[in-house]
Structure 1
Amino acid sequence: MMTQHHIDKKRAQASFNKASASYENNAVLQRHVLGEMFLRLKLLKINPSSILDLGCGPGNAGPDLKNFYKPHDLIYLDFAYEMLKKAEEKNRDHFLKAFSSRTTQQFICADMEAIPLEENSIDMVWSNLSLQWCNDLDRVFAQIAKILTHNGLFIFSTFGPSTLHELRSSLASFSEHSHVNQFIDMHDIGDALIRCGFSDPVLDVDVYSLTYSTFKEIMYDLKHIGARNALQGRAKGMTGKGFLYQLEKLYEVYRANDKLPASYEVVYGHAWRVNKPHNESSIVKFYSKQ
């Protein structure tokens, strides 16, 4: 069923394709979250022979995944072809420098809601800040569970519902259209993991605030990492200068210490694909620094 909060995948693809050249210089938060994911990953006991980087973007995780695990197969998947080309360029160069590596790399342009991989073929699925671009989280989780091997690991980060709350509140005061994605609560993500057959999910949340001198800088950053409005319920025409001027005035209420904040709630999680008896249930562990 199509709703105003569903993502128009073609529009989202176009936005990320266009942003592929500017993404690296503007993805400050994405790089930080990637580092946080590796800190969490190093605490887990796993030695994967095959890894899928789901929603890989420009492939920033690839070099560290290769160095840390030296997998036999490393697969990069993204629905934006230009982003995938960036990932191939980055990781091809790294692969050639690491001439002793035996890792085979594959680059697949596909939607994470239709993962074209065989059952029981992947030991670890890694996904950094990409799940928020799917419309059916259960569908994605079910497919990940299907392709994972027994005792396979799914580790991810995604945005929670407090993300960009300043922008969302400012927009809601004068526009009836959908402008910002509806992000999923940590507890609902944990429930979805259990429904889709994962075991022992562990989730935690952290909140980050990026600060800017002007509202235009916030919008510039969002545009240049591909985070444009791709919702089906968006206003179909151009919003225009008048719209942005009104939005900028409303956003000023959040200015503090001469800076404008843009808040991001990041949910970190991991879970295991373990075949348990039907009468055995898992407990989801939630942690919060708030």
Structure 2
Amino acid sequence: MNICNINKKHVILQFERRNLSNSKFLYEEIANRLAMRLKYVKINPKYILDVGCNAANNFSLLNTMFSKSSYIGLDFCKKSIERAHKIINNIDKRYFIFNFFKNIPKIQHKLILSDMASTNIENEYIDLIWSNMALHWHDNIQEVFEEWYRILKTEGIINFSCFGTNTIKELHKAIKEANIKTSYMIFNDIHTIGDTLNKSGFANIVMSQETLTFTYENPERLLKDVQGIGGNPMYNRHNGLLGKEKLRLIYESLNNQKNQSNLIPLTINIIYGYACKSKTINNSVTHKINFIS
């Protein structure tokens, strides 16, 4: 379903408590793969919107790809925006020192504290919407896509990544086997996301996905890494710490899932989406969706 029971306040709290440093490799790797999808696309954006920018993690990557573009970072976590300000200011200082005598203009940027489904950006203002591993933290992707459609210029492009259905399925299994009464995130599948893009008016939709598998010698390290990618922001999540017995049962279930190499697997399902705003604006038209396996 497009709507899930995510508590947005919990999402903000999760990202206030961590800066994703423990999962930096994963997010950077996905960002690089996301960038490859634009390699052969002819686009010279004036304004790029980085949705869910966190600490401006993709600022340098996007500036390298589109050096003449103005960067707009958007996030609904105040501490993330504060971190982004510091990082971009440091980049600006280095940029100024090395390029002052070359008469190269300063990188134009702006940071917005806002929900991704309510950006307060004017209609048809953005040329490229980029969102790396942020969409799954929103409770209503249809509202997000409708907002992206509104602010995107005709022939503008969206390019995003997010977690898919099978992400951390091993932990979900362990929670069930430990009989822990809690809600946890069920991520959208690739067809739901593609269909929602279509309903929101986008054209030339291309959806693909891949599965990454990480392995761990022990369940403690696995749980630490899962916490590092964002935690559990659901309304009906288990409150407080788990008791020793419940934690033992989770460890037992995870250890029982070890592979032939005696390692615990952790599945990360990544979905990639690409679409554009067609010249022919007609939301009643059903566009073909290309699903690439």
TM-score using structure 1 length: 0.91
Instruction: Report the Cα distance in structure 1 between the residues aligned to 2:214 and 2:79, rounded to whole angstroms.
Output: 27
Three-state SS of the structure 2 residue aligned to 1:203 is: strand
RMSD in angstroms over aligned alpha carbons?
A: 1.8
1:15 is aligned to: 14
- Larger CA deviation: 170-179 vs 84-93: 170-179
What is the Cα deviation at residue 84 of structure 1?
Answer: 2.0
Instruction: Report the Cα distance in structure 2 between the residues aligned to 1:269 and 1:128, rounded to whole angstroms.
Output: 10
Runs of 4+ with deviation above 6 angstroms: none
Contact 2:208 2:273 in 1 (8 A): yes
1:59 is aligned to: 56
Equivalences for 1:200-215 in 2 at 5 Å?
200-215=204-219
What is the Cα deviation at residue 70 of structure 1?
Answer: 2.0
2:190 is aligned to: 186
Equivalences for 1:118-267 in 2 at 5 Å?
118-175=122-179, 177-225=181-229, 227-256=230-259, 257-267=261-271
Instruction: Report the Cα distance in structure 2 between the residues aligned to 1:283 and 1:95, rounded to whole angstroms.
Output: 43
1:110 is aligned to: 114
1:85 is aligned to: 82
Instruction: Report the Cα distance in structure 1 between the residues aligned to 2:113 and 2:253, rounded to whole angstroms.
Output: 40
What is the Cα deviation at residue 237 of structure 1?
Answer: 3.9
1:42 is aligned to: 39
**Is 2:287 the partner of 1:282?**
yes
What is the Cα deviation at residue 8 of structure 1?
Answer: 1.0
Q: 1:24 to 1:236 in 2, by over 3 A?
A: closer
What is the Cα deviation at residue 74 of structure 1?
Answer: 0.8
Please list every run of 5 or more consecutive structure 1 residues that lacks an aligned counterpart in the other structure: none
Instruction: Report the Cα distance in structure 1 between the residues aligned to 2:60 and 2:117, rounded to whole angstroms.
Output: 25
Aligned residues: 282
Give the residue type in structure 2 aligned to 1:58.
A
2:273 is aligned to: 269
Contact 2:178 2:246 in 1 (8 A): no
Give the residue type in structure 2 aligned to 1:254.
Q
Residue by residue over 1:109-141, the C-alpha shift from the partner in whole angstroms, topping out at 9 and shown as x without a partner, is: 222122121111110000000000011110000
Residue by residue over 1:70-109, the C-alpha shift from the partner in whole angstroms, topping out at 9 and shown as x without a partner, is: 2442111111222222222222222332332443211112
Three-state SS of the structure 1 residue aligned to 2:235 is: coil
Instruction: Report the Cα distance in structure 2 between the residues aligned to 1:236 and 1:29, rounded to whole angstroms.
Output: 28
Three-state SS of the structure 2 residue aligned to 1:282 is: coil
TM-score using structure 2 length: 0.91
Three-state SS of the structure 1 residue aligned to 2:37 is: helix
Give the residue type in structure 2 aligned to 1:156.
F
Contact 1:95 1:101 in 2 (8 A): no
Residue by residue over 1:225-247, the C-alpha shift from the partner in whole angstroms, topping out at 9 and shown as x without a partner, is: 4x211101212343233221111
Please list every run of 5 or more consecutive structure 2 residues that lacks an aligned counterpart in the other structure: 97-103
Give the residue type in structure 1 aligned to 2:91.
H
Contact 2:70 2:107 in 1 (8 A): yes
Q: 1:269 to 1:277 in 2, by over 3 A?
A: closer
- Larger CA deviation: 276-285 vs 110-119: 276-285
